Structure 1
Amino acid sequence: MAALAASPAAASQATATGVVEDIRDHGAKGDGRSIDSKAINAAIRAAASRGGGVVAVPPGRYLSFSIRLLDNITLALSPGAVIEAANPDVHGANYDPPENYLEQQFQDFGITHVHNSLIYADGAKNIAVVGRGLIHGLGLDRAGPGDHWWRRDHFQSAKALGITPRELAIRNEGEAAQVGRANKTFGLMKCRGVRFEDFTILQAGHFGIIAHGCSNMRVDGVVIDTDRDGIDIDCCRDVRITNCTVNAPKDDAIVLKSSYALGEKVLCEDIQISGCKTSGYLMGSLLDGTYRPSDYRAPDDIGVLGRIKMGTETVGGFRNVQISDCICTNTRGILIGIVDGGVMEDVTVSGITLRNPVNHPLFVHHGARMRAPEGNPVGAIRRVRFEDVQVSGADPRFPCGVEGIADGPVEDVTFSGIDVASAGGGTSQDAARDPEYRRVTSLEVSYLATLPAQGMYARHARRLTVRNCRFTTEKPDARPAVALRHVDGAIIDNVHSSAPAGQAVSCRDSRNIAVEDMGRLA
């Protein structure tokens, strides 16, 4: 019963159902040596057989393989309770196997499956994990086989080989090696009514929390200190992520996706991310309070990640997304876009504080990688708004930006009330640069290199608005405040910068540009 004090919500559910199962009553030892997942699953099944209830996890260290949540179950973690992922190299490869085998994986293997997780639910409703306990993903893998799709040189068709997709997967050495292993702390598939509250995840494997096709999901007050992805929301609807702290130096902290993991195009829509903090410090240094820097450089050699992002996979598209009142420290900036087809529309990013961003503070990117079923059309981006964003310590090479493609310009993007402070020092050679154009590209934009603007760069965009913005530099900077290339329709109004007099806005191959009330900072 002690675990119920961890959460009023858990106590409420227990009162409503009258069912409380203590995992120790089912044989859990909590000694850090015994494998306790069998006992935890037995407690869950016992509560579920009576209509659901609370499964109490008292203080102790519970070494576990896969734990499956069922309908109407609340897993209540007492302060001092630790669920630790068993190490398959030490304790045997006994995690639940991946639940499906897709002939064409249009996303990473780790996204395609959820049963190979420490804790998972598949098609469950009204589930919760609450309390002040710790989930330690010590035995989880951080990686796995990548994607296998028709555009890859190594793609093999099960149909062409005359075998089943499952047989093809088992023939694949990398995928066969994953059976019995796990690479996610929490994996959710097609669940409804999900609540995660107040617990902490340390060393989360490839994914801390990943949800596919879920609805009515709440993640509040969760702390994640890891070195791959923190929270991934994929093809979900009606999700709120609030008051969470995610440290993820080597991958994304909070990311929205619309992959093909469900075997069909599904929107990611009606999402709120609010009151969260993300960072890219060394894993573990968030929880121990030392906030030590990470020396990770990422494949593009720029530095850590740890950011809020939307659009790693985009087949289904995005609609109605709000990201607000977040603090991002020592991370990459907020990056959103479409690269695999799909439509992104009605997105608002507001009230953000970015300190020492590694790259572009705010960026919208449209590309045509098309990691999607063959013949999928190029997507679209429209009605995106950034407002009330404070940025300090920005890298002068990387201003805010919008980068579309010639056959898919980004439409109706507004930057309002954006204040960016950087070191400056841009040269006349920087101002004359013509950044590389890539139509076929992933979401990352580091290939653009140093951009020819102090504060805002846009290419292949329509109806762009930059209003009431301030771009300050510590050193003189020869670049214009705003640089427009192949832009059709823009309003640049009340923008203050240290750009040379009469050179605040640079336009090339652009039309219908209105420039008003530009100010020069001393």
Structure 2
Amino acid sequence: MNERFSGQSRRRFLAGTVGGLLAAGTASRAEATTSPSGGSGSEAAAWARVPAIRRRIKPPRFPRRTFPITRYGAVGDGTVTCTDAFKQAIAACSAAGGGRVLVPPGTYLTGAVHLADNVELHLEAGATLTFSRDPADYLPVVHTRYEGVELMNYSPFIYALDRVNVAITGSGTIDGQADAEHWWDWSGDPPPSERPDKELLARMAEEGVPVEQRVFGAGHYLRPNLIQLYRCRNVLIEGVTVKDSPMWNIHPVLCTNVTIREVTVDSPHGPNNDGCDPESCVDVLIERCEFDTGDDCVAIKAGKNADGRRVNAPSMNVLVDSCVMRDGNGGVTIGSETTGGVRWVFAWDCTMSSARLERAVRVKTNPDRGGYVRDVYFRDITVGQAADAVIEVALNYENKHTGPYFPDVGGIHVRRLRAGRAPRAFNLIGNPDNPIKGVRVADSVFEEMAEADVVRDVTGFELRNVWVNGRRV
């Protein structure tokens, strides 16, 4: 348990801010097409959905069997490669019907770790997984997603595909060991560079090349994620610290019933080092986590462009409760991969502040992405300082103003947000042919805003009891 959740703060978090809300009916992927873009029902009725969503999100439970990796030859000296020991321990655990694969104190060097059904990977205090810097240790290629597009690529460092009941728990550290000379250097323009491969992958997706023929990996430069759980059901990530991923740190894709609790993401320096990016997932709880990242802290996604339309799977019923956001491009972000649609997002009791936190609340998409964003609710958000707008909704991401797939964005509600210092309160940019449809802010205070707001091509922009620089607006 992190120290910050002791005492009164711990009791407040456990009590929750939704305890007095009314029960709500169930939700499913089918709901994604039943409401217009402006949102549905009243704000109180929307928040009344939260208890039912939360009841459905249940962490998996595991048999009381323990499989220490040291039993299978792992040595925690930081130099002996333990990849095979992890593989054997996980296989034995799953074959026995499930249990805990135990990582005792020590530093364990490994390549890709693939989880199996009914396996909890548990890192004891003092345990560190350090991942090899050799790309060959993440081969053969696996079915994965790179920035919203499916392909065959280097394995994520911790990976599961089509699994049920998987967990990563404990108080140890998962260290991707990426730095300016390993993995992060692929993000730049001088060779080796990911740019040609990103362009090739985008062309393949647009042309409908089957996923199994989109083979990258060796000889290519598309960076893997640190943790990616793909098409899994009943997922738990709890207590661990993750750091220095090649790119996105925690990336559940097409998963159902996901709990991410009391996790620390300490990765402020790497390019695209998002904290947690649930993509095309249903029923997700992110609670009591800390994020210090090189990109968005939490980014809710749903596939990109042609491939997102092919898969056509939304993210729905995502709860972000009592988290702390420091460095990052956005505190709680939706997009830019919005093609499959994002709906029913709730964030509350979050604290965000850093001279390098660019925005607190952010929605980003463009006319190549398409899709929709609706029924998004924030309340009781504290922002100490931000480096750009406190609230941003931008439909021109990557400076793209026109295209064949205008996104449908609206029904965004913010209540009881208090911001200290930032350049501006609002940066809202729609399109003359495709306005933002509905941004409502109530009972909120923006204390020291240095510049004028940008509000362009927005319908239904409502401010109720909102104060900016000491004046009610």
* Cross-structure match for 1:97: 140
| Matched ranges for 1:411-430 at <5 A | 411-422=437-448, 424=450
Distance of 1:159 and 1:108 partners within structure 2:
13
| Aligned-partner Cα distance in 1 for 2:241–2:80 | 22
Task: Report sequence identity in percent.
Answer: 23
- Cα distance in 1 for partners of 2:137, 2:230 equals 21
- Measured at CA, do residues 155 and 336 of structure 1 come closer, stay the same or move farther in structure 2, by a change above 3 Å? closer
Q: Distance in 2 between matches of 1:24 and 1:268?
A: 39
Q: In the aligned structure 1, how far is the partner of 2:431 from the partner of 2:206? A: 35
- Stretches of structure 2 lacking an aligned partner (at least 5 in a row): 1-59, 188-193
> Match for residue 378 of structure 2?
349
**How far 1:176 moved relative to its partner?**
3.9
Change (3 A) 1:100 1:128: closer
Match of 2:68 in 1: 22
CA distance in 2, matches of 1:153, 1:45: 36
Which whole-Å CA distance do the structure 2 matches of 1:413 and 1:206 have between them? 31
Whether the aligned pair in 2 keeps the contact of 1:272 and 1:321 (CA below 8 Å) is: yes
What do the CA deviations read for 1:321-368 (whole angstroms, capped 9, x no partner)? 001111111111121144211111110011111122000001222248
Q: CA deviation at 1:252?
A: 1.3
One of 323, 330, 333 as aligned partner of 1:309: 333
Match of 1:223 among 253, 257, 264: 264
Structure 1: tracts of 5 or more residues without a match: 1-11, 281-303, 427-452, 474-495, 498-517
2:299 corresponding residue in structure 1: 255
The question of whether the paired residues in 2 share the 8 Å contact of 1:341 and 1:368 is answered with: no
Q: With structure 1 as the length reference, what TM-score do the two structures score? A: 0.68
| C-alpha distance in 2 between matches for 1:391 and 1:65 | 43
Q: Does 1:319 align with 2:365?
A: no
Which amino acid is 1:458 matched to?
Answer: V
From 116, 137, 149, the counterpart of 2:176: 137
SS of 2:277 mapped into structure 1: strand
Q: Deviations over 1:229-288 (max 9, x none)?
A: 11111111100100000101x3111111111467511111100111111111xxxxxxxx
Q: Distance in 2 between matches of 1:337 and 1:158?
A: 21
Q: Secondary structure at the match of 1:39?
A: helix
Deviations 1:150-187 (A, max 9, x none): xx699755999xx98766745xxxx54248x9632101
The AA in structure 2 aligned to 1:470 is W
Q: In the alignment, what sits opposite 1:458?
A: 455
Query: Contact 1:80/1:133 (CA < 8 Å) preserved in 2?
Result: yes
* Matches of 2:345 and 2:206, distance apart in 1: 39
Is structure 2 residue 326 aligned with structure 1 residue 279?
yes
Aligned partners of 2:152 and 2:214 also within 8 Å: no
Mapped to 1, the partners of 2:322 and 2:206 lie a distance apart of 48
Match of 2:242 among 179, 201, 217: 201
The one-letter code sitting in structure 1 at the alignment partner of 2:345 is V
Decide whether aligned partners of structure 1 residues 48 and 352 sit closer, same or farther in structure 2, where only a CA change above 3 A counts.
same
Distance of 1:147 and 1:347 partners within structure 2: 36
Provide the rounded CA distance (Å) in 1 between the counterparts of 2:79 and 2:68.
Answer: 19
- The root-mean-square deviation of aligned C-alpha atoms, in Å, is 3.1
- Greater helix share, structure number: 2
Q: What is the CA distance between 1:402 and its match in structure 2?
A: 2.3
In the superposition, relative to structure 1, how do residues 320 and 154 fare at CA in structure 2: closer, same or farther (>3 Å)? closer
CA contact 1:317–1:338 (8 Å) conserved in 2: no
Q: State the alpha-carbon separation in 1 of the partners of residues 110 and 220 from structure 2.
A: 17
CA 1:67–1:400: 2 relative to 1, 3 Å = same
Q: Aligned letter for 2:349?
A: D
The answer on whether the counterparts of 1:237 and 1:269 sit within 8 Å (CA) in structure 2 is: yes
Question: Where does residue 40 of structure 2 map in the other structure?
Answer: none
Task: Give the equivalent residue in structure 2 for 1:406.
Answer: 432
- Tell me the alpha carbon deviations over residues 106-148 of structure 1, each in whole angstroms, 9 at most, x when there is no partner: x477x75676221111111111111111111115623552586
Output the CA distance in 1 between the equivalents of 2:240 and 2:388.
31
Task: Give the Cα–Cα distance (whole angstroms) in 2 for the partners of residues 45 and 61 of structure 1.
Answer: 21
Partner secondary structure for residue 235 of structure 2:
strand
